[in-house]
Amino acid sequence: MTTLNKAGTYKLGHRTVNRLGYGAMQLAGPGVFGPPKDPAAARAVLREAIAAGVNHIDTSDFYGPHVTNQTIREALHPYPDDLVIVTKISARRGADASWIPAMSPQELTQALHDNLRNLGLDAIEVVNFRSMHGIHGPAEGSIEPQLTVLADLQRKGLIRHIGLSNVTATQVAEGRSICDIVCVQNQYNLAHRDDDAMIDALARDGIPYVPFFPLGGFTPLQSSTLSEVAKRIGATPMQVALAWLLRRSPNILLIPGTSSVGHLRENLAAAELELPDDAMEALNGIAARSETHAAAH
């Protein structure tokens, strides 16, 4: 039905999704806080994504907070049968828009119920435990207490599958010893490649790796090499950044975020882009030369 098929599919839990999906974080207000400037435009982005064949949407109730999930519900409920909505829990927002760890059993349970209510679901297909041992990047520390809570919610039928986010390789191993982990969502893009070994290890076991900030996040990727490659092959830099991720490993599922229908169309068209070997080689060199910058928040 759509050109999204050209990027292929991958198994996520017991569902199969297109490798190009959509991340909904950009639909909240500035700083991922409060309502969008134009709620109708936010709903239009979601409807356009579904019309284009997207069947994997990443969200969280701490985007807004609540606003992004409510927007998804308003735009898309009742949901298409093939849509997989993935959320994440473990944080709450301060009145000043700060990100505050909320990892106690009560807070995790409350967060799950907030997601269910605001999305209008009886169960959520995939819930990522987003470690807040480090707020802006992975930090060691046991995740056993939190995963025990998620596994209990899974036994109650409120969560179908469990994933991890913002985690180290040690935490992935610990998580997999406690319950089935169906995906890992960490920061990774052309310029930020700390997880190279993790991606390859997960690929060997058939587990999806879902890079967040695939376009650089709050400070979109900028690189002369990226611009040169894009110009040479007649694509935009953002399309090339996504195509590089698609070619990097078959277990990578993309959730680029945007608040704009125009950018959404541009990003989804990356499914059709096949990077030639010499372009791949040039792009591989970017991180080594540290000529780009990606945002950390």
Active site residues: 63
Q: Nearer Cβ to ligand NAP, position 157 or 226?
A: 226
Interface mask (CB under 6 A) for ligand NAP, residues 231-250, using x and -? -------x------------
Q: Are strands 124-130 and 99-101 parallel, antiparallel or unpaired?
A: unpaired
* CB-CB contact of 255 with 63 (8 Å): no
What are residue 163's phi and psi, to 5 degrees? -130, 180
* CB-CB contact of 247 with 280 (8 Å): yes
Contact pick of 150, 158, 214, 225 for ligand NAP (by CB under 6 A) = 214
The nearest distance, CB 8 to ligand NAP, in angstroms, is: 20
Which residue in 168, 169, 166, 131 sits closest to 150, CA to CA?
131
The nearest distance, CB 111 to ligand NAP, in angstroms, is: 14
Cα(132)–Cα(99) distance, rounded to whole angstroms? 9
Sorted by sequence, the CB contacts under 8 Å of residue 288 that are 6+ apart come out as: none
Is residue 258 involved in binding ligand NAP (CB under 6 A)?
A: yes
The nearest distance, CB 215 to ligand NAP, in angstroms, is: 3
With tokens 């409120």, the residue in question is: 158
Identify residues 106-145 at the interface with ligand NAP (CB under 6 A). 130
Instruction: Name the one range near ligand NAP by CB under 6 A: 2-10, 168-176, 263-271, 274-282.
Output: 263-271
The nearest distance, CB 160 to ligand NAP, in angstroms, is: 19
* CB-CB contact of 78 with 25 (8 Å): no
* CB-CB contact of 30 with 63 (8 Å): no
Q: Nearer Cβ to ligand NAP, position 158 or 270?
A: 270
Sorted by sequence, the CB contacts under 8 Å of residue 280 that are 6+ apart come out as: 244, 247
Give the three-class secondary structure for 234: coil
Count interface residues toward ligand NAP (CB under 6 A).
27
| Angle value at C-alpha 288, between 58 and 248, nearest 5 degrees | 40
Interface mask (CB under 6 A) for ligand NAP, residues 52-91, using x and -? ------x-----------------------------x---
Q: Nearer Cβ to ligand NAP, position 165 or 225?
A: 165
Identify residues 156-175 at the interface with ligand NAP (CB under 6 A). 165-166
Site residues (CB under 6 A) for ligand NAP?
A: 23-26, 58, 88, 130, 165-166, 185, 212-217, 220, 238, 255-260, 263, 266-267
